[in-house]
Structure 1
Amino acid sequence: MQTKPRHINEIYVTRAIAILGVLIVHATSYTIIDMKGTAYYGFYNAINTFFKYGTPTFILLSSFVLFYSYSARPLTGKLMASFYKRRMLYIILPYVLFSVMYFLYHYDVYATYLAQDEMLSEFFKRLMIGKASSHLYFVFISIQFYLMFPLFLWFFKKFPRWSIHAFWIGFLIQWAFVFSLEQGWVTVENRMSISLSYMAYYFTGVTLGMHFDKVERFFSATRDALRSKWGVWTALLWLAWAAAAFGHIYVQYLSRTGLAAPSQMTYQLFWNAHTYLSAFMLLQVSFVIYRKWAPWLVNTLMHLGVTSFGIYLLHLLVLNKYNTTFQTGDPVMYHLFIAGGFAVSLVVSWIVVGLVMKFIPGYWILFGAKPKRMPKKERTTETPVDNKGQRVSSSAP
């Protein structure tokens, strides 16, 4: 049986916050063009840039859960066969089916420049590079990582001392790739669809997954933890995160408005720092949310986290339909139109995925796996934790 992280509920909360970020970025994507030259451009640029933490956070979390789940188990052919079976059924199959859906949705566009006998080859080309829709690159790079996962798992199990250093090794690999692209030594299309662009996140998942017991007190952010050395690290994290987020927003603003032309290295630096630190910050926030917020609200967020993969796959169909159905030229109504796009894509996708998962036995074909039991916070008071940030059992009702 696959081992689950001790704080899987908090991870579901983090996934919920991450999917909200993804939806906000996509809902505001048109504003980067529509609002150019207006007084609102700075606001929409800030919103669109700030919430770019979503996909990188999903990447780090997926690696973290995998290494937590598999690193303590004997590495056998049976284990890897089970691993690939689950990826095939719950990740790759939904990816292929949604690639078909998005390709068919945009069929009329392809028909304007492709002959009928070219359609099938165009689909397979897009399927193999994660481009049947703009957001499916996330699943495509995840598949790349799954192909490398057994090798990484074998290495870090055989040389466990290196696992504590994995996070900075990931940075070296990622930035060697970025530097090679900048220097022209390597040429690739769609650099952000290549897993090497995210190795800092994947390898940080190695360190967290194999050594979470050493840092979970930091993420717990309890009063006791904040009064220890972890309080200093928390302050440094939040200060560095705020600076990186501001820098990322500013660099994007300069680039999008044409006021300056920051290099790709500069952009990558601020994007990497902002989104990387955001994943840590969101994990810490999720621990606090789980511990302190009302059960009904926490349970709502955890349900959103459970359904987040399905929502990720589906939401652009909903958003695209909304954007083509509702249009406005009124400056005031435009802001409501953008907010409505976010709300509709969230609510409709969430309802559809939730109902399918609940009532249709073969839900996994479209939306992937779900836990055998939905996570639930039962207590109506703050959950007691020890000085390591772990929940303490109690006989209280």
Structure 2
Amino acid sequence: MPVTQTSKKPHLPELDIVRAIGIMAVVMIHSTSSAVSSYDHSSSFYPIYVFLNLFSKFAVPVFIFLSGFVLFYNYYGKPWTLRSTGQFYKKRITKLAIPFILFSFIYWAFVKLVGPGFVDLKTFIGYFTDPIFWDKLLIGKTYTHLYFIVIIIQFYLLAPLMLSVLKRFPWLGNHIVWIGLLVQWAFIYKIVPMYHLKYAASYSLTYMFYFAAGAFIGIHYLKLASWIKIQKQHASAGKITAWIALWTLFLGSGVYMVMNGYHLNLYGRFLITSKQLEIVNEVQCVTAGLVLIQLSHWIYDRWNKVFVRALLHIGATSFGIYLLHPIVTYLGRLVPTGGSSFYYHLWTSIGFLIALILPWLIVSLSAKWKWHWLLFGPLPTKMKTASGNHAPPAASTTA
């Protein structure tokens, strides 16, 4: 039965650890992309870079999975009226769309300053009146990572409609995963080629399977939690088998994606067809969502509380870190490595840490500023607690 409006669902602070792992994977992708494309392919270190880069590719789909999870966990079964729809858009869209628009301008200015450079004020202003800029802004292409924000905005626009349909036909909640998969495949393999859509990655329907899978888990989470959490005292043979199967699928599909990418970089061709590769990728990304929720529960319960608090805070500020880190990564690539392999590896490792920690510090310090949400969305004003009494967190715009 749907959850009623008066039902009080437990707060899930562990989800911020999922966000923390997700943003680390995003930064890892961008920190190692240069090595994957330009480092000596015959080097014994090259497979390591390929692994770190390609195994982390679950990052964006996991954030989409988490968005579906959080939305449907919080809103499924609640009355969905015109007023609640307006409140939803005010809370979610405005605090996501405004930072997106501002950073679209910031990154477009950054691109022009490091490209053609500043010629004169009239020319510089002209970059923003050019129709190319507005076309790129609509699809999140003023810089490479902003397409993700466009996708999440599209899902937020769709969410009230999906929730209304599920309220009218509750039985659809049990079929939402395969419906999402069908929609995703129909869009990728029918709609995109039929209408010659150039930027398929900027459309939410390209990721509908991940969003729908997260929505399904969110709807049924209270029933599924005992199966997802790793607890020795409740570890029946069936649960252990399910956990092993889940991790095997995640690790196996992830390793195969790495092997395929490595083969592509070396020989210029895939090991399997593009459709088969899509299936493997979907398996990795969906199982990654479940694995990270499971892993985050274990980290939250068992790891050192200082480290857990740091992860919780990184997760809560992940939207701002996502927006800022590409500038740090770009500037880091301007630092010469002197042609030494040792310094190259050191430069890459330190570059990853700086690209994660520096934006985290900037975003964290900005929380004291009243209007920080204009740039980074809602932020926690202090480190989150890892104790048993959990205060409600600031709303996260990444999920």
Q: What pairs with 1:189-268 in structure 2 (closer than 5 Å)?
A: 189-261=198-270, 262-268=272-278
User: Does the alignment pair 1:162 with 2:166?
Assistant: no
- Give the Å deviation of 1:31: 0.8
Residue deviations 1:248-289 (CA, integer Å, cap 9, x gap): 111111222225334432332222221221111111000111
Residue 58 of structure 2 is matched in structure 1 by 53
For the Cα contact (< 8 Å) 1:5–1:65, is it kept in 2?
Answer: no
Unaligned runs of 5+ in 1: 384-397
How many residues align? The count is 378
3-state DSSP class of the match of 2:385? coil
Q: Percent identity?
A: 31
For the Cα contact (< 8 Å) 2:64–2:152, is it kept in 1?
Answer: yes
Q: What amino acid is aligned across from residue 128 of structure 1 in structure 2?
A: L
3-state DSSP class of the match of 1:177? helix
CA distance in 1, matches of 2:336, 2:146: 25
TM-score (norm: length of structure 2): 0.88
CA distance in 1, matches of 2:310, 2:68: 24
CA distance in 2, matches of 1:374, 1:79: 31
Q: What amino acid is aligned across from residue 374 of structure 2 in structure 1?
A: I
**Structure 1 residues 132-141 or 269-278, which shifts more?**
269-278
User: Does the alignment pair 1:18 with 2:22?
Assistant: yes
CA distance in 1, matches of 2:386, 2:370: 25
Residue 9 of structure 1 is matched in structure 2 by 13
User: Does the alignment pair 1:276 with 2:286?
Assistant: yes
Unaligned runs of 5+ in 2: 391-399
Residue 307 of structure 2 is matched in structure 1 by 297
TM-score (norm: length of structure 1): 0.89
For the Cα contact (< 8 Å) 2:213–2:286, is it kept in 1?
Answer: no
Residue 153 of structure 2 is matched in structure 1 by 143
Q: What amino acid is aligned across from residue 266 of structure 2 in structure 1?
A: T
User: Aligned pair in 2 of structure 1 residues 102, 190: CA closer, same or farther (>3 Å)?
Assistant: same
User: Aligned pair in 2 of structure 1 residues 98, 35: CA closer, same or farther (>3 Å)?
Assistant: same
1:378 is aligned, of 366, 383, 387, to: 387
Residue deviations 1:363-397 (CA, integer Å, cap 9, x gap): 111111135886311269xx9xxxxxxxxxxxxxx
**Structure 1 residues 291-300 or 255-264, which shifts more?**
255-264
Residue 68 of structure 1 is matched in structure 2 by 73
CA distance in 2, matches of 1:118, 1:22: 29
3-state DSSP class of the match of 2:13? helix
2:318 is aligned, of 308, 311, 325, to: 308
User: Aligned pair in 2 of structure 1 residues 30, 173: CA closer, same or farther (>3 Å)?
Assistant: same
- Give the Å deviation of 1:224: 3.0
User: Does the alignment pair 1:187 with 2:196?
Assistant: yes
User: Aligned pair in 2 of structure 1 residues 300, 5: CA closer, same or farther (>3 Å)?
Assistant: farther
2:132 is aligned, of 119, 122, 128, to: 122
For the Cα contact (< 8 Å) 1:16–1:301, is it kept in 2?
Answer: yes
For the Cα contact (< 8 Å) 1:14–1:282, is it kept in 2?
Answer: yes
- Give the Å deviation of 1:327: 4.0
Q: What amino acid is aligned across from residue 244 of structure 2 in structure 1?
A: A
**Structure 1 residues 102-111 or 122-131, which shifts more?**
102-111
Residue deviations 1:152-194 (CA, integer Å, cap 9, x gap): 0101111111112211211111122233268x43421122221
- Give the Å deviation of 1:118: 5.5
3-state DSSP class of the match of 2:145? coil
